[in-house]
Amino acid sequence: MGITRTPTSLTQSSATRGGIGESTLRPDGTLKVTGEFAYSSDLWHEDMLWGYTLRSTVAHAAIVSIDTGEALATPGVYAVLTYDDLPTEVKHYGLEIRDTPVLAHGKVRHHGEPVALVAADHPETARRAAAKIRVEYEPLPVITDEASATAPDAVLVHEGRDDHHIGHVPHPNIVHRQPVVRGDAAAAAARADVVVSGEYVFGMQDQAFLGPESGLAVPAEDGGVDLYVATQWLHSDLGQIAPVLGLPERKVRMTLSGVGGAFGGREDLSMQIHGCLLALRTGKPVKIVYNRFESFFGHVHRHPARLWYEHGATRDGRLTHVRCRIVLDGGAYASSSPAVVGNAASLSIGPYVVDDVDVEALALYTNNPPCGAMRGFGAVQACFAYEAQMDRVAAELGMDPVEFRQINAMEQGAVMPTGQTVDSPAPVAELLRRVKSRPLPPERQWETTEGADVRALPGGLSNTTHGEGVVRGVGYAVGIKNVGFSEGFDDYSTARVRMQAINGEAVATVHTAMAEVGQGGVTVHAQIARSELGVTQVTIQPADTQVGSAGSTSASRQTYMTGGAVKNTCEAVRAKVLDLGRRKFGTYHPAWATAELLLEDGKVVTDGGEVLAGIAEVLDDEVVDLELEFRHRPTQAFDLRTGQGNGHVQYSFAAHRAVVEVDTELGLVKVVELACAQDVGKALNPLSVVGQIQGGTTQGLGVAVMEEIVVDPVTALVRNPSFTDYLIPTILDTPTIPVDVLELADAQAPYGLRGVGEAPTLSSTPAVLAAIRQATGLALNRTPVRPEHLTGP
């Protein structure tokens, strides 16, 4: 039918064999490295149209009028849609609070908000027609920070809120507020020998995934639509898309397309509804691809934050109490702000034992760009601040900063500020010990026999120093991240596994809706199927909505949840296969009835190693095909006044040591080494685990020294929506990242594993900041650090 679908099934056999615990190679690795992998931006359909989104040029304004006449009259244009063209009564969407209009209605609330859509036979035609749409704006006061948001006479970003947070927030421009109160912080403060307080600022980081938002919507004969798209959670998208289109969910068939990175930025919808609306209106397939500029407006960012902390400690280095206040800027729409608040509040103290705690975290509605999920999800901002505080308290006490952390480090059995007991390994002190005990990289590592190697110096190829002004610094940090969805959310995944014999060989097919965004689920699922079913060849089917929800590829949860679902279904399939065997061959050998039976190397074997039959022989013409859901243990909501509750499923820990060289005269930084130690419970694929840790570490480095979306404090306009001015680390900015992986099993988790992806993003940033502070002697309460912060005014 003349359609390029992406991706196709990934069949993994001899080239990628290996069960759990082996460093099986990615089935799509070669394709990606050679540029042959088809991403969602490569989707194509004959006779397709191109969609384009007209976005607001101002941050907060009433829409006086929209004139689409000239755009519609442009040759090659098939449709121009505004809010008035939305087909049903449902005109909003949102992850938790449906506060986001599909197209702006009455007013725009942030720079780059979608206002109108155009479909045309060429992308340029669509773009040029969109430029002919005349939108008349009347400026409204711009809400940019806590002061302007919560002023008594503040303009409300959203009027008439009826979401379930409005009852407990102190102001309608606050999305959600979560206190956590435990013990008596005021009384404990009186016992402190030293008290350190500080204010910290965390800049707005972008996920900066390389594959821009894109997808293809194809209208179907039954009045429905087939949508191919790069996303993080197909079923969550579906639940938001279908009502706006006025279609039952079964008529919106979604297939995951090739995803070029996500990091949280694809949890919210981008082009999904827009593409479907245009396809259904025109009766033609419609493709939408954002360019890099538009991508910066096409997804939410990491919440920028202001954080106030007070730590107290006794002379012998024990924390007495912590008080903190975390203000997250959620921007114009809620996205996942409530859950980010819950994380920031519950993880605000870090991986330390503190009995007396008084915490407040909240997220604002402002006219800044909407912020939501990004790797680390609320725990990142807190870690930056509490780790800076830990260094300052240690300095105040005259203690070694690592030793001070180790004295206060939590371990298994510790109680969180939420009252939850940490009931699996929490090797915080050990992780710190491991990074500290590594030998340091040699001093003056830039010196060669032919002079200075500028690539090893701050400034790199820009040739700014040959060693002048360069001072080394070393810093440490450790963090705590939750794994999986928290606060009572019914978090589950689904896996369908089919086993059959083809040409005398037992093979397995795994079908889930898990979004492969680069994390390696497609590799791990095949490893699990091999280990559980004793087969070599496993086919991973494309993720789509023809199978039950897998939940989001986020919260470090997919190996735990969808990996757990695959394991769970495989076990049920194995039981069926063994039942089949017993029925067919049970009478021939008593072991069928008496022994523990396993599937190994294509055979049914006893636990004693005796071969009873080939699996293919057992299956013959039968197909065993099961689809089952898998859940982690339930969690509880946090009490809205005290924050008490068993809110999290599992905790994950990583520690970093950063070694930096700082050109103290120019304020330029070279991170020389960023060593990490992390407990992963069980490394299902050790190579992937190291890759995740190195990637998370690098993303944390990025927001330490360069990555920031700059928003004008007066106009709330984004000033650097490009890769020219939003910088992410190149390979020359990426240090050596030695990784020390611990495997201390969590008895609750499949294979004992612990979610890996986010924890290293937490501690990387404060470790780099601590190292820069040591090199410069500056306080540095803000990240990212810019050169002018290091050189003074």
Partner 1 sequence: MEFLRPASWQEALAAKAEHPTALPIAGGTDVMVEINFDHRRPDHLLDLNRIGELEEWETGTDTVRLGASVPYARIMSGLRAELPGLALASHTVASPQIRNRGGVGGNLGTASPAGDAHPALLAGGGAVEAESVRGSRLIPIDDFYTGVKRNALAPDELIRAVHLKKATGPQQFSKVGTRNAMVIAVCAFGIALHPDTRTVRTGIGSAAPTPIRAGTAEEFLTAALDEGGLWDSRKPVPPAVAGQFAALVAGAANPIDDVRGTAAYRRHALGVMARRTLGWTWEQYRAEG
Binding-site ranges for partner 1 (CB under 8 A) = 127, 291, 293, 455, 458-466, 468-469, 665-668, 670, 705-706, 710, 719-720, 724-725, 727, 729-733, 786-788, 791, 793
- Give the integer Cα–Cα distance in Å for 565 and 753: 14
Closest CA to 286 of 70, 400, 122, 56: 122
- Return the ∠ at Cα 390 (arms to 386 and 395), rounded to 5°: 150
Residue 57, classified by CB atoms within 10 Å of its CB into exposed (0-12), middle (13-18) or buried (19+), is middle
Max Cα-Cα span within the chain: 87
DSSP for residue 26:
P
Which run of H or of E encompasses 434?
helix 428-437
**Which pair of tokens denotes residue 474?**
């070393």
How many separate helices (H) and strands (E) can be counted in the chain? 19, 36
- Half-sphere exposure (CA, 13 Å, Cβ side) for 712? 13
Give the strand pairing for 225-229 and 252-256: parallel
Residue 66 or residue 457: which is nearer to partner 1 going by CB?
A: 457
Residue 572, classified by CB atoms within 10 Å of its CB into exposed (0-12), middle (13-18) or buried (19+), is middle
- Give the integer Cα–Cα distance in Å for 323 and 312: 9
Closest CA to 23 of 523, 486, 460, 398: 523
Residue 183 or residue 729: which is nearer to partner 1 going by CB?
A: 729
Closest CA to 61 of 116, 146, 135: 135
Closest CA to 289 of 6, 514, 703: 6
AA letter at 502: I
CA terminus-to-terminus distance, the chain: 63
**3-class SS at 628?**
strand
As a three-state string, the secondary structure of 773-786 is HHHHCCCCCEECCC
**Which pair of tokens denotes residue 157?**
């970003």
